[in-house]
């Protein structure tokens, strides 16, 4: 119930400062779409909200800007990132670029217990899909990303895992902005198909399915510049 976005990791890093907690809290809020793109994140407000000084709030926002989840504009403040259509395309292009490779690495190292873990994830994901309510939707969004993140974790490459963390989080922002269908997450069955392909050791097919899966998510986007809302944003960012 408590684990944050990095719940995928088995070893909690226990990093250096309390700013990380704020960072994770805001990140979760962004990924779960409780914070809309473009929302202003004033340093003072964030500080007051978490009962810390502006120093820590600023550090957290700065950290989030390195992940591409918030954009800080000089002397203007921090905002929840509002990825442009071009940025969105780059995010998915990056995913198409790295996820097959991650999948191959993961499949080469995967253990039976890890396969079991993946299947349990799918079950939980399926259960959330059938539930109703905002809370279930948000949990579903995160669960959907957790599949890809878990694959990255299994691959054993912490660097790629961190990169996927970033890509999945930013994807959530893109979907929030440009997603058309009410289906908040990607096709659940496609995840299952991928696991099945991994299980029978058909890597080429698994990669093909993964690429198809990513393309499927991207196809649900309407990557045209926003018109009504954009009138203001068009000149700000």
Residue 232 engages DNA in binding (rule: CB under 7 A): no
Among 55, 90, 116, 189, binds DNA (CB under 7 A): 55
Angstrom distance (rounded) from CA 86 to CA 24? 26
Alpha-carbon distances of 100 from 19, 63, 86, rounded to whole Å: 34, 28, 22
18's CB contacts (< 8 A; 6+ apart) are 52, 56
Among 49, 72, 183, 203, binds DNA (CB under 7 A): 72
Where are the alpha helices (H) located in the chain, listed in sequence order? 19-31, 43-50, 54-66, 85-109, 112-130, 134-155, 158-178, 188-199, 203-219, 230-236
- Three-state SS at 37: coil
Among 38, 68, 77, 187, binds DNA (CB under 7 A): 77
Among 6, 9, 85, 105, binds a second copy (CB under 8 A): 105
Residue 17 engages DNA in binding (rule: CB under 7 A): yes
Main-chain dihedrals φ then ψ at residue 183, nearest 5 degrees: -65, 105
Residue 90 engages a second copy in binding (rule: CB under 8 A): yes
Chosen from DNA, a second copy, none, partner binding at 128 (C-beta under 5 to 8 Å by type): none
Residue 167 engages a second copy in binding (rule: CB under 8 A): yes
Q: Which residue do the tokens 């191959």 mark? A: 104
Q: Work out the number of other CB atoms within 10 angstroms of the CB of residue 113.
A: 8
- Three-state SS at 80: strand
Chosen from DNA, a second copy, none, partner binding at 94 (C-beta under 5 to 8 Å by type): a second copy
Among 19, 26, 173, 186, binds DNA (CB under 7 A): 19
**Residues of this chain, 56-85, that bind a second copy according to CB under 8 A:** 59, 62-63, 66, 68, 72-75
Chosen from DNA, a second copy, none, partner binding at 203 (C-beta under 5 to 8 Å by type): none
Among 18, 101, 156, 230, binds DNA (CB under 7 A): 18
DSSP state of 221: B
**Residues of this chain, 113-142, that bind a second copy according to CB under 8 A:** none
Q: Which long-range contacts (CB under 8 A, 24 or more apart) does 134-137 make?
A: 137/184
Among 17, 36, 116, 180, binds a second copy (CB under 8 A): 17
Among 2, 10, 11, 16, binds a second copy (CB under 8 A): 16
Chosen from a second copy, DNA, none, partner binding at 18 (C-beta under 5 to 8 Å by type): DNA
Both tokens of residue 178?
């440009």
Binding region for a second copy (CB under 8 A): 14-17, 55, 59, 62-63, 66, 68, 72-75, 87, 90-91, 93-94, 97-98, 101-102, 105, 156-160, 163, 167
């Amino acid at each position: 119930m408590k684990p944050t976005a990095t719940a995928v990791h088995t070893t909690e890093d226990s990093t250096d400062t309390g700013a990380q907690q704020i960072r994770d809290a805001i990140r979760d809020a962004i990924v779960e779409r409780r914070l809309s793109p473009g929302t202003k994140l004033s340093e003072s407000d964030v500080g007051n909200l978490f009962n810390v000084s502006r120093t820590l709030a600023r550090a957290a926002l700065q950290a989030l800007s390195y992940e591409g989840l918030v954009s800080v504009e000089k002397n203007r403040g921090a905002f929840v990132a509002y990825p442009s259509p071009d940025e969105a395309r780059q995010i998915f292009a990056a995913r198409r670029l790295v996820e097959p490779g991650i999948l191959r690495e993961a499949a080469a190292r995967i253990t039976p217990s890890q396969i079991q873990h993946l299947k349990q994830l799918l079950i939980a994901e399926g259960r959330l899909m059938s539930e109703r309510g905002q809370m279930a939707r948000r949990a579903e969004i995160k669960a959907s990303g957790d599949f890809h993140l878990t694959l990255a974790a299994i691959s054993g490459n912490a660097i790629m895992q961190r990169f996927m963390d970033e890509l999945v989080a930013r994807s959530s922002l893109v979907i929030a902005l440009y997603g058309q269908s009410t289906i908040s997450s990607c096709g659940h069955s496609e995840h299952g198909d991928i696991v099945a392909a991994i299980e029978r050791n058909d890597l080429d097919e698994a990669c093909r399915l993964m690429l198809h899966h990513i393309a499927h998510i991207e196809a649900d986007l309407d990557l045209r510049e926003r018109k009504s809302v954009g009138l203001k944003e068009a000149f700000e960012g």
